[in-house]
Structure 1
Amino acid sequence: MSLDIADRDRFVRANTALLPAPLVPEIELHLATEALPLWQMTEEAMAEAGLPPPYWAFAWAGGQALARYVLDNPEIVAGRRVIDFAAGSGLVAIAAAMAGASMIAANDIDPFSHVAMRLNARANGVAIDVLETDIVGEPLAGFDLVLAADICYEQPTSGRVETWFRQLSAGGMPVLMGDPGRSFRPKSGLEKLAHYAVPTTRELEDNDVRSTDVWRFVQ
């Protein structure tokens, strides 16, 4: 199957199904029902176009854990201006909107993610703003809270983002992160807020359940 990157909306709809996130069944997302076919189909075409793999098509463990935490603790976001960084499918942003955030923005640099986030927000009856540029290093004036998940996969990206998160935290901006023990998760300066066993698939992970934590950056 060829990849029509000119019609991203149609591509996302054609290659996903609207399904509940396992740990967060209150939220339905446009998800790939089989990971490997979509990954293989898009890899070559997206590489040629300078685009990342289709991370937006999966409910990753860190995002599910953070979304669950937000829904179970709505006071974390209620009435606050929240940004979901590296949002992928928009799962965490949607959870924040459902939990009562006064304003919610979702940020990612992948144009297919922008489409998926808008479709997913619409499917769940919430409104989110989609920020499409690289915001790492920005002071995020106008926001009260940063949410992020599944960002500690590789260097140098993880190191760049960690430095930024620590700067934000030092300036008084709370930063919460969902992470299933990725290799480049910071080794210090984190406070564990919650732990979850997140159902996943062996197509994406090395187990059927991924042990996942929610963290807060501290000084």
Structure 2
Amino acid sequence: MRAPIADPLAFIRAETRLNPVPLVPEISLHVADEAVPLWQRTEEELGEMGLPPPFWAFAWAGGQALARHVLDHPEAVAGRTVLDFASGSGLVGIAAMKAGAAAVTCADIDPFARAAIGLNGQANGVVLTAAEQDLIGTDEGWDTVLAGDIAYEKDLSARVFDWLLALSARGATVLIGDPGRTYLPKDRLEHLAEYSVPVTRELEDMEIKRTSVWRPREG
């Protein structure tokens, strides 16, 4: 087993390529060609098995749809302080900055993701603040909160959506991108838009995912 990696930036540069995002070609990300080999390499470099997938190394369907929506509807972020929750690659945060946000915090507990966020922001000419703490249940006064692909796990989804709805209730604009994950609470949300998102069959069950943008229901 190799010693833990000392430089996540060097790892990302070595294991990914800078490519335009299919649904959002205005933005380029450092992405991996294949998921499983990168996943294995990450475990080897960190000296730890059973790690979650390298979410930071791919443009996931929910993030692509949400980024597209933000660029096409800049009024949701323009001049505002924005949180990109569970940011991964930083795609949605980059879109928010390009759409005129005053400042964007990209929150992700994965140190590789935080390194990728900085690298991808630089590649797209924007400055992002990467936050490592678990922000669920907190409120730092964000004007807009963006969250893509967050409905994977039952218990975590319940916590996240309770928090997002509370932020919406106090006046924040909350937008969620989701390609039909199991634990999306549709009964608590309002549908805003739908996109056909190109994705890889290695990560999804089809090459084009119908992906929606939602916001919390009022009242």
TM class by shorter chain equals: over 0.9
Alignment check: 8 A CA contact 1:104 1:128 kept: yes
Residue 93 of structure 2 corresponds to residue 112 of structure 1: no
Secondary structure of 2:95's partner? helix
Opposite residue 146 of structure 2, the aligned amino acid is L
Equivalent residue, structure 2, for 1:169: 168
What one-letter code is carried by the residue in structure 1 that aligns with 2:213? V
Unaligned 5+ segments in structure 2 are none
TM-score, with normalisation over the residues of structure 2? 0.94
Q: Distance in 2 between matches of 1:44 and 1:213?
A: 36
Helix, strand or coil at the partner of 1:66: helix
**Counterpart position of 2:215:** 216
| Partner residue, 1:35 | 35
Between the two proteins, what is the percent identity of the paired residues? 59
TM-score by length of 1: 0.94
Question: The residue matched to 2:177 in structure 1 has which SS?
Answer: strand
Q: CA distance change for structure 1 residues 4 and 28 in 2, over 3 Å: closer, same or farther?
A: farther
The correspondence of residues 1-219 of structure 1 with structure 2, limited to 5 A, is 4-43=4-43, 46=46, 48=48, 52-141=52-141, 143-218=142-217, 219=219
Distance change >3 Å, CA 103–CA 29, structure 1 → 2: same
**Per the alignment, in what secondary structure is the counterpart of residue 26 of structure 1?**
coil
Structure 1 spans left out of the alignment, 5+ residues: none
RMSD (Å), alpha carbons: 1.8
Q: Spell out, residue by residue over 1:121-165, the C-alpha distance to the aligned partner (whole angstroms, 9 max, x if none).
A: 000001111111111100222x10100000001121111101111
Aligned-pair CA distance for 1:45: 5.5
Contact 1:2-1:41 within 8 A present in 2 as well: no
Q: Is the 8 A contact 1:3 1:11 kept in 2?
A: no
SS at match of 2:94: helix
Mapped partners of 1:43, 1:215: distance in 2 = 34
Q: 1:114 to 1:59 in 2, by over 3 A?
A: same
Q: Secondary structure at the match of 1:137?
A: coil
Q: Distance in 2 between matches of 1:191 and 1:101?
A: 23
